[in-house]
Chains A and B, each alone.
Chain A
């Protein structure tokens, strides 16, 4: 089994001003098999197994929702922005095509 999981979420470490827009970076280990590749040895198609959904929730709102296909690279990096309104976590949830789920968060500090 390939390396999988170990989700990481990173936001600004310094406190933000209210209304400031902040970059959030995420990373997770995942094979992101498209279902279109063949095993070089056996010649058999490698079954699809990729992250199909990433949701970032902040302040009770799903701020960014990503729906992916197998064309996203292995061990996907993904960054996006949030508007910092109050201190609290940005909760990120990844789900893959086998129903496996990972969660990780970054704490946002607002002055």
Chain B
């Protein structure tokens, strides 16, 4: 893609493109997945252990992190997840890593995000898949090893993708 498409990328078309792709239904086939879930190499239900492995041990303070998603998602194939961590991003005091988990997905880890002081702000947004209603966890660790988290239960509307 050259500069033409880039310069033509208005806010409307940009977000429109996301919406259009969202029409494709992924959850339909995710629904019949319990058998496969058993075969997955990272079984659900061990998110606490995954957090220790991915970020480190320690007590997670339930503050500073915000998952800004409505409690009910229309489409499990495309759940909008904006996450912010209210923390300075300074040379010796910044958020180093943020990890996101969906407890009841066959593989709970969605992704990890590494920041630097040059990030300016520890805030990301993406769209994720949810096989069914689940707790979503966002956990962040600072360069000093302090853990912060937010846990949010998100319902996934029935029907939309069940065909």
Enumerate chain B interface residues (CB-CB to A < 8 A): 1, 5-6, 9, 14, 17-18, 21-22, 24, 26, 29-30, 32-33, 36-37, 40, 77-79, 89, 102, 105-107, 109-121, 123-129
Contacts and interface: CB of A to CB of B under 8 A. Distances in A.
Contacts of B127: 72-73, 76-77
Interface of A: 5-10, 21-22, 25, 27, 29, 34, 36-38, 40, 45, 58-59, 61-85, 104, 106
B118 A38 contact: no
A34 B123 contact: no
A21 B129 contact: no
A61 B14 contact: no
Contacts, number: 140
A35 B66 CA distance: 30
A66 B113 contact: yes
A8 B109 contact: no
Contacts of B128: 71-73
Nearest to A102: B1
A55 to B, nearest CB: 9
A67 B115 CA distance: 12
B11 to A, nearest CB: 8
